Amino acid sequence: MELFEWGSNPWGQETLVRISWDLLYLAFWGGIAFILFHVVYAIVWLPKLARANGGGEAEAGGASVPARILRHTSAARFFHWVMAAAMIALLITGFFPIVGIQFPWVTIHWISGVLLTISILYHIVHATFFLDFWSIWILPADLREAWQRVRHQMGQEAGAIRKHGKYPLDHKLYHLAVTIAGLAVIGTGIVMMARIDGALWPRNPYLLSDATWGLMYVLHGFGSVLFVTLTLTHIYFAIRPEKLWITRSMIFGYVDRDRYLEHHDPQRWVVSRDSTEG
């Protein structure tokens, strides 16, 4: 398997063209393998853990918690689904032609890319100024807890594990991966617009040197194939029965009190009456 595809420039010098498309298949089958692993894990391991823990119980003292808790504001949901649509469009337009399903994809691809960029810009502003900015980022406490959880999973004594704040570590990890891959594809994608015919800009494939372009395509490629894995696993988790309540919250915005109390630490994800009015 190759990591990169090399070509030569008109002077016969070797240049980096893009990632090898072997990585696309690797990303796809890697994602599938992870899902299969998780399916097995979920069937074999999770019930064992649940029995050991005696099941998750809602904490007492949730009386002040409203029956429905706003998890995602309508704006956040709108962003998510716009982003998801753009991402799906990007993946389909980007990768279907590579696997042999041919159609005119470039325009849809770049328009989807622009849409994705706009939605992410919006998200950055929205999340920074209007949401609990730190709730999604991995903080030192998350790492400590992660270690605890690992020990717990391995059946070792790990002490009392606190429940999650608004976002559990796996969500945070996923968000981090999406952030990195997303910035890679968007950053490079915007530059790559110089290579296609645009109505508003003159096409200039010589904006950057061959080597820099190669790097752009490689970063774009890596980000994109990572999204293949991320998207596969994301969809998988979204449709797992025990996670459907989260998926529903991305549609309707709310989680109910039981779920909230079962999975979250109210001290870490403080909800008030106000928060039901998203």
Q: Which residues here bind another protein, judged by CB under 8 A?
A: 7-13, 17-18, 97, 102-107, 195-197, 202-206, 213, 217
* Closer CB to another protein, 40 or 196, in the complex: 196
Q: Would the CA dihedral through 234, 75, 169, 134 be positive or negative?
A: positive
Q: With helix as H, strand as E and coil as C, how does 132-152 read?
A: CHHHHCCCHHHHHHHHHHHHH
CB of 210 to another protein, least distance (A): 9
* Closer CB to another protein, 7 or 155, in the complex: 7
CB of 14 to another protein, least distance (A): 9
* Closer CB to another protein, 213 or 254, in the complex: 213
* Closer CB to another protein, 13 or 53, in the complex: 13
b/e sequence 141-154, b meaning 16+ C-beta within 10 Å: ebeebeebeeebee
CB of 115 to another protein, least distance (A): 20
List the one residue out of 241, 226, 258, 242 whose CA is nearest residue 24: 226
Q: How far is CA 100 from the centre of its chain?
A: 26
Q: With helix as H, strand as E and coil as C, how does 240-270 read?
A: CHHHHHHHHHHHHCEEEHHHHHHHECCCCCC
For the beta carbon of residue 96, count every other beta carbon within 10 angstroms: 13
CB of 91 to another protein, least distance (A): 18
CB of 183 to another protein, least distance (A): 21
* Closer CB to another protein, 7 or 56, in the complex: 7
